[in-house]
Structure 1
Amino acid sequence: MSLRKFISNKTIAALAVIVTASANTSAFAQEAAAAAATTAKPVDMEPVYKSAIFYVMAFLLLCLFIAIVGKALKVYELTREAQDKPKGINWDAVNGTLFALFLIVGLYGVYWEYTVHGKMILPEAASEHGKKIDSMFNITLIITTIVFVVTHIVLFAFAYFYKNTGKRKAYYYPHNNALERVWTIIPALVLTVLVLMGFLTWRSIFYKIEDPKNKPLSVEITSSQFAWAIRYPGADGIVGVKNYKLINSANSLGVDLKDRNALDDQIADELVIPINKPVRLILTSKDVLHSFYMPHFRVQLNTVPGMTSYFEFTPTITTEEMKAKTNDPKFEYLFLCAKICGAGHYNMQRKVRVVSQAEYDAWIKEQATYVTDDLRKQFNMPVAAPAAEAAPADTTAKDTSAVKPNQIALKN
């Protein structure tokens, strides 16, 4: 087929249409880009920088870059080897230098972690045993930090100063009994001291000798998805027993009203406790595993279905005092669930107030009793009769004017 036959009028027309359409499209695209540049608002990239995908992609790109550089260096080394040239890069020196840099960066990371994230540790302890726990924690942290820094300085310094230089031979030193005794006995002694500290602290928390002059206040807290129920003892100071078989719509906690100690129990929407008085928590669960957590008081204990747990502590700082210490007028103590227990886990928190004994006594008098009329009917107990209405006052004024003449007439 000749070129003349191939290039017909139709072909020329089609090419002209294509060229014209391309030109128009290009012009339109340029105009649209110019208009967008003048009217479009700058894109907010902050959400992108906060996303995890951004950092994952950045890490993968960094790994790819390192791999490419490594391959290029490998090709460079193989090329020099093929040309019978000496090595161009002294990798022993490079590795030694990298060890030194890694040590410096790592120590700065430790410093940064302590100064920045160190402020995010638990707040000031507001209980007697909390101070003991914090003291034990601080001692452990100081010892482990010193050991960590010293051992890593020695480790990386050896890698730097004793790197291969080709001028010396490594000394064969397989065994030393004295050194092995030192690095075995010293850590064993330190760990023994730390374990004994923990053991004695634990005993002081869970095996207290009760002071007859300052008996603990018992408070029962029952967890469920996704709420807390708080029950105080009545005037008898004893929380009544429960039985899960008695749980129903009227008796949500399954309290056994045959136990006379349960008749005066009270319920509350918040945990109010007096300062400097031992508080004995009785922790139970109705459904699944929860974790009762009071960060300011260093209290955390699982609430397990079918099992009762106990924890005793003594608050030492009132809510008002902590507001002044934190310079936060809206500060509130809280207790919450520290174990993911379902979709509404985030909502399981209640307010805690530490008050004076007088404030507590006034508050507890205002709390309702757990026993309701429905519960009394369920247990065939007499229902409290409604208070009798007072008789209406006689507002009719007595006519004393008629009495006086009669009295005068009788005298006459």
Structure 2
Amino acid sequence: MAVLAAMLTVFANTSAFAQEAAAAATAKPVDMEPVYKSTLFYVLLFLLLCLFIAIVGKALRVYELTRETQGKPEGINWNKINGILFALFLIVGLYGVYWEYTVHGNMILPEAASEHGKKIDQMFNITLIITTIVFILTHIILFTFTYFYKSTGKRKAYYYPHNNALERIWTIIPALVLTVLVLMGFLTWRSIFYKIEDPKNKPLSIEVTSSQFQWDVRYPGADGVVGKKSYKLITAINALGIDFTDKNSLDDQLADEIVLPVNKPVRFILTSKDVIHSFYMPHFRVQLNTVPGMTSYFEFTPTLTTEQMKAKTNDPTFKYLLLCAKICGANHFNMQKPVRVVTQEEYDAWVVKQNPYLTNDLRKAFKLPVVAEPSKEAPAAADTTAKDTAATKTNQLAIKK
């Protein structure tokens, strides 16, 4: 290791001299980037640390061999040192747990913005509290036992091979705790995916189609029903493969963002065009895979508007997001869609402004009646004026010449 470090040092110095000579010859400014930003710096630092530890270890070993050859007793009580190190590791480790909870604990998501999300947070907190208590107690016992019962050469370990009562305790108690946690998870899962529909408060259906690397959002239109689609109908102009023989498809709308009315159940219809993606809205505690050839559903009720969450988080730039939680390709990180939760009045005003999916090009392709395009007279008049102005300037220049 010493030879390797020396070779690297020589190589680094030679490279540095070569760089200085080249810089002097070309008279270009030298890159004065801090050395700690280079990879070579950390490699050399690591090798230097290893070399230091090796030298200290060899020195201690020489010390021990010298005392042994002189017939002297052991100079360093390694059992005592190991016991002290265990005690120090316990203190540092417990502080590390405290630091994680106080520092990184403040970086977790804010409170859930959906009804079922509160149940998931409650289940998560209960699990975290139980596991934290068990983790701290077991490590205190383990490290304290190691410190107080380190070998002294004056006592012999007691042979304790079996205890039925102890085994029953550490088998039954974890089994009961895990059974309770599993039942909580099962009941929470059923409450999310098996809902009884309220005829007076039917959910808003929204279809989300995933593909590399985007989300396509389709709203149901005035009839409140999302029309059928088929992968066999996918073309350049019908990217989602909508089946326009289904009357429910005729008024469907496309949206660049997801807008949800607060306190209104929302039912997402999830499909994928290419690979497995994951429909993930962390603030609502929503996550479900979108699988090619299969339709999935996730229903939930948002409880906090975007403006309310901005106030709760004290973040005026806060926004809900739809993300992909699967590593689905090179541009996976870019697969985002903004989500807004608004009042029912704001939602009603927004949804009527969304463009219909069925364009005139699609109408022609599916032999449906073509709708009149918006009038373009005003832009044409503006163009004519511009042309007349340009012509007048040209004539004036010609007269001057």
- Confirm or deny a common fold (TM above 0.5): yes
1:140 to 127, 144, 163: 127
Shift of 1:53: 6.8
Superposition map of 1:10-409 within 5 A: 45=34, 48=36, 58-385=45-372
Shift of 1:80: 1.6
Shift of 1:364: 1.0
String of CA shifts for 1:51-71, please: whole Å, max 9, x gaps: 777656545543443233222
Shift of 1:167: 1.6
SS in 2 for 1:374: helix
SS in 2 for 1:94: helix
How has the CA–CA distance of structure 1 residues 67 and 386 changed in structure 2, closer, same or farther, with 3 Å as cutoff? closer
CA distance in 1: counterparts of 2:177 and 2:267, whole angstroms: 34
String of CA shifts for 1:119-170, please: whole Å, max 9, x gaps: 1212221111111111111111111000000000000111110111122121
Q: Give me the TM-score of the superposition, normalised by structure 1.
A: 0.80
Can you give the 5+ residue segments of structure 1 that lack an aligned partner in the other structure?
A: 1-28, 34-39, 391-412
How has the CA–CA distance of structure 1 residues 256 and 56 changed in structure 2, closer, same or farther, with 3 Å as cutoff? farther
How has the CA–CA distance of structure 1 residues 63 and 307 changed in structure 2, closer, same or farther, with 3 Å as cutoff? farther
Shift of 1:343: 2.5
Shift of 1:278: 0.6
How has the CA–CA distance of structure 1 residues 57 and 264 changed in structure 2, closer, same or farther, with 3 Å as cutoff? farther
Shift of 1:326: 1.9
Shift of 1:365: 1.0
CA distance in 2: counterparts of 1:105 and 1:55, whole angstroms: 25
SS in 2 for 1:238: coil
Q: Give me the TM-score of the superposition, normalised by structure 2.
A: 0.82
Preserved CA contact (<8 Å) 2:110 2:313: no
Shift of 1:196: 1.0
CA distance in 2: counterparts of 1:387 and 1:218, whole angstroms: 29
How many residues are aligned here? 352
Shift of 1:207: 1.1
String of CA shifts for 1:310-343, please: whole Å, max 9, x gaps: 1111000001111221222222111122222223
How has the CA–CA distance of structure 1 residues 216 and 82 changed in structure 2, closer, same or farther, with 3 Å as cutoff? same
How has the CA–CA distance of structure 1 residues 289 and 324 changed in structure 2, closer, same or farther, with 3 Å as cutoff? same
SS in 2 for 1:198: helix
SS in 2 for 1:300: strand
Shift of 1:362: 1.4
Preserved CA contact (<8 Å) 2:279 2:288: yes
CA distance in 2: counterparts of 1:387 and 1:205, whole angstroms: 44
CA distance in 2: counterparts of 1:388 and 1:128, whole angstroms: 46
CA distance in 2: counterparts of 1:187 and 1:58, whole angstroms: 46
CA distance in 1: counterparts of 2:260 and 2:98, whole angstroms: 40
Q: Whose radius of gyration is greater, 1 or 2? A: 1
Shift of 1:41: 11
Can you give the 5+ residue segments of structure 2 that lack an aligned partner in the other structure?
A: 1-19, 378-401
CA distance in 2: counterparts of 1:110 and 1:55, whole angstroms: 28
Shift of 1:389: 11
CA distance in 2: counterparts of 1:252 and 1:67, whole angstroms: 64
- CA RMSD across the alignment: 2.5
CA distance in 1: counterparts of 2:56 and 2:161, whole angstroms: 38
CA distance in 2: counterparts of 1:117 and 1:308, whole angstroms: 37
CA distance in 1: counterparts of 2:83 and 2:184, whole angstroms: 41
